[in-house]
Structure 1
Amino acid sequence: MNLPDGYIDVPPGKQAAVVTSLQMTARPEARPERPADGWTLRRVERPDLDWYRDLYRRVGQDWLWFSRMSMPDDALAAILHAPAVEVYALEVDGMPEGLLELDFREPGECELAFFGLTAAAQGTGAGRWLMNRALERAWAHPITRLWVHTCTFDHPAALSFYRRSGFVPFRQQIEIADDPRLTGALPRDAAPQVPIIERP
């Protein structure tokens, strides 16, 4: 599809992000990590939806993660309770401070569907520790491809972190969606670095 160069208006009430998808086709060497400092990884079987949404919000609200906040209960449960989806919590001294979700529903591959830390865990080395655990668990399955996507609303270091972890970019897209702060999916003060353009 040929798109013209230049600017394209985003309608008021909407947000637009550039989404970059990345992949790896072989397990990379584990990168050096700090020793676990009160960190544990706990698999959460059939997670309670309120528990999941709370952790998802605490990890992603600053970066306008909204898809799971606006998803109906039955649709969210169908994903999280699927046998081929694994949900993990990074716990810091027993408190959930990180989210890891691996989706094996497509045969032969895994999507790193969600990966992130709360503000309290960022900058501690927990991200590298969690990524090493993610790679171990993903490549323990008979897959030939592991992929993830990030966007321009995500943590500023997310894209470079994924590339340092062994992922290679292969696709870019523009995502346009209702601003979740105007729909009520997120509070209005979420992600203050992203301006709200009100509908007239």
Structure 2
Amino acid sequence: MIIPDGYSDVPAGKIAAVVTHLEMTAPPAHRADPRGSWSLRKVDAPALDWYRDLHRRVGEEWLWFSRARMSDAELAAIIHAPGVEIYALAMDGRDEGLLELDFREPGQCELVYFGVTASLIGRGAARFLMNRALEIAWSRDLRRVWVHTCTFDHPSAVAFYQRSGFRPFRRQIEIADDPRLDGTAPRDVAKHVPIIE
């Protein structure tokens, strides 16, 4: 569906974001790791409570709501699927970053979820995590790595992905029920996205 030029009303109780899809079709130039005491570990068959907690701590402020709305069975079917890999960025013995890679499409890798907790934003942890993500992805026989982000995300997200070697190729509008109105997310998160009831 094509939305005409100009303004389009978004119904009360809904949120609307501009989604930008980005891709790379060859390994990017190497970027040096920032200094920090982070480590990355693969989490095989992640426990659902662990995953939900880390996903919430990383993404709640940016309105990552789709996984929060899933039943345990729906979530397990995705994160335990062959070809889906979950990694945690750890600092001082605590998991503070989430990386989810989906290799199920032959020749491709999607960075499904990527982020660090608020305490690590701006400290180089995301650069470290991206370096590891791209090393893991391009160690496989791929022709494409891709990711999408939206206007609910950190304001530097698109620029960060572009500095990492991704290029934008598609833009969409996503409209959904506001997760702060149905209890999926607390009402006081994502103050950069006003609630309209």
Structures share fold, TM-score greater than 0.5: yes
Aligned to 1:22: 22
Partner of 2:9: 9
How many residues are matched?
A: 197
Normalized against structure 2, the TM-score is what? 0.97
In structure 2, runs of 5+ residues without a counterpart are none
Q: Distance in 2 between matches of 1:30 and 1:53?
A: 32
Which residues in structure 2 correspond to 1:67-146 (within 5 Å)? Answer: 67-146=66-145
Shift of 1:32: 2.1
Once the two structures are superposed, residues 38-86 of structure 1 have per-residue CA deviations (whole angstroms, 9 ceiling, x without a partner) of 2110110110111101101110111111111111111110110012001
C-alpha distance in structure 2 between counterparts of 1:2 and 1:93, whole Å: 48
Which consecutive segments of 4 or more residues in structure 1 shift more than 4 A? Answer: none
Which ranges of structure 1 fall in alignment gaps of 5 or more residues?
A: none
* 1:2 to partner: Cα distance: 4.6
Shift of 1:141: 1.0
For 1:148 and 1:3, how far apart are their aligned partners in 2?
23
The answer to whether residue 98 in structure 2 is matched with residue 62 in structure 1 is no
- SS at 1:76's partner residue? helix
SS of alignment partner, residue 89 of structure 1 = strand
Alignment partners' CA distance in 2, 1:144 and 1:39? 29
Superposition RMSD in Å: 0.9
Partner residue in 2 for 1:42: 41
Bigger drift between 63-72 and 1-10 goes to 1-10
Aligned to 2:31: 31
C-alpha distance in 1 between matches for 2:32 and 2:43: 26
Deviations along 1:76-111, one digit per CA (max 9) or x if unpaired, are 101100120010000001100000000001111000
Residue type at the aligned position of 2:84: V
Q: Using the alignment, how far apart are the partners of 1:139 and 1:54 within structure 2? A: 29
Partner-residue secondary structure (3-state), 1:120: helix
TM-score (norm 1): 0.96
